[in-house]
Amino acid sequence: MEIITIKFPLCFVMTPFGKKAFTGGARIDFGEIYRKFITPAISRARIEPLRTDE
């Protein structure tokens, strides 16, 4: 059993995973969006992000 240490309140984030293709040929990398935008915004609020695949 793994013990997890929590420094701040948690923010549970549910997003799609990986790169997805959409109508019209657009591809979105949800991992990149999570790392570049969602995680920093949550961290600046002194909340610890936790994604469903972490």
pLDDT at position 25 is 85
pLDDT at position 14 is 92
Query: Percentage of the chain surpassing pLDDT 90?
Result: 57
Residue 29 has pLDDT above 90, yes or no: yes
Residue 23 has pLDDT above 80, yes or no: yes
State the SS3 of the chain: CCCCCCCCCEEEECCCCCEEECCCCCEEEHHHHHHHHHHHHHHHCCCEEEECCC
